[in-house]
Amino acid sequence: MKISELSDRSGLPVQTIKYYIREGLLPKGTATAATRAEYDGRHLDRLRLIKALREVGDLPIASVQQIVAAVDDEDIPLHHLLGTAQYALGPGAEPHPEDPDWRAAREDVDAIIAELGWRVLPDAPTRDLLAQAFVALRRLGLPIVLSDLRPYIEAAELIADHEVGTLSLDDDREKAVQTAVATNVLYERVLLALRRMAQENASALRFDDEG
């Protein structure tokens, strides 16, 4: 297909596609003349991935380049590829090792992960993200008790097993990353909406005598 058709099918302007080619995010097409090239389904799949990372994941070009490079490197296992995408998607939290409250929270997070036996890298940004939440909860006078966390842990494990279960080592690597973007960004919004609706329903059942 010509670049104009690639633009129509991807929903991206021709100038944007040319920019992605210059930045090395998209391979060049097969030259058919001095100023013309042909593109195929692989280019369309790559543009859909880039579009998902940019528009859904809201990632800067540098992060997209990092993920695309991991997609193209067949020596990087699928687990590490998905981790690259997840870490880039964020959200992250700024560590504050000089703050004793933050250090205590981070120690608690590390202890919980160890107790659960979860395989999470020591420098995973989610450790700092959870520690940040623990600090905020404690400063509101809300203690962190494992029994209170248990429903969230069980829900997280159930959701993670479902999401990872949809992937296979035989999957196309670009589509696997697209799925990771969808689950980490869009389905987090789905989960948030469902949780709040469930809270409203539970509150109505428990407290709304007039309901």
pLDDT, tens digit, 9 for 90 and up, residues 151-193: 999 999 999 999 999 888 888 898 888 888 888 888 998 999 9
Average pLDDT in the chain: 92
Task: Assess contact for 39 and 3: CB atoms under 8 A.
Answer: yes
Q: What is the dihedral of CA 64, 67, 71, 76, to 10 degrees?
A: 160
pLDDT bracket for residue 47 (50, 70, 90): very high
pLDDT of res. 210? 67
Nearest to 49, CA basis, from 190, 165, 182: 182
Nearest to 128, CA basis, from 101, 98, 92, 89: 92
| 3-state DSSP percent of the chain in helix, strand and coil, to 5 | 70, 5, 30
pLDDT bracket for residue 211 (50, 70, 90): low
Mean pLDDT of the region 53-70: 90
